Amino acid sequence: MAGTKITIQSNGSIRVEGDFEILDQDGKAFGLNGRTKVGLCRCGHSENKPFCDGSHKRANFQSAIQAFDLPAAPPKA
């Protein structure tokens, strides 16, 4: 089992738990101040992106999630 667990919550955030690091596009790490759990915004309304601030509730964000299997990855060229 991996040291990081990612849960996509229906009508809510992406929950990240465990041993992880979050980087911006330039490779600079966000200062998580020892947090081992964070919520990442999926709705696009958070004032604290990329982190969730609960705005999905006010925006009535709807997105039901159910796990499924991805098709096989294409062979590498």
Give the global pTM. Answer: 0.88
pLDDT exceeds cutoff 70 at 1 = no
pLDDT digits (tens, 9 = 90+) for 25-53: 999 999 999 999 999 999 999 999 999 99
How many angstroms separate the CA atoms of 4 and 63, rounded? 23
Q: Quickly state the pLDDT bin for 2 (edges 50, 70, 90).
A: low
| Spatial CB neighbours of 8, under 8 Å, sequence gap ≥ 6 | 14, 15, 42, 65
Q: Which domains does the chain have, with CATH numbers?
A: 1-64 (3.40.5.90)
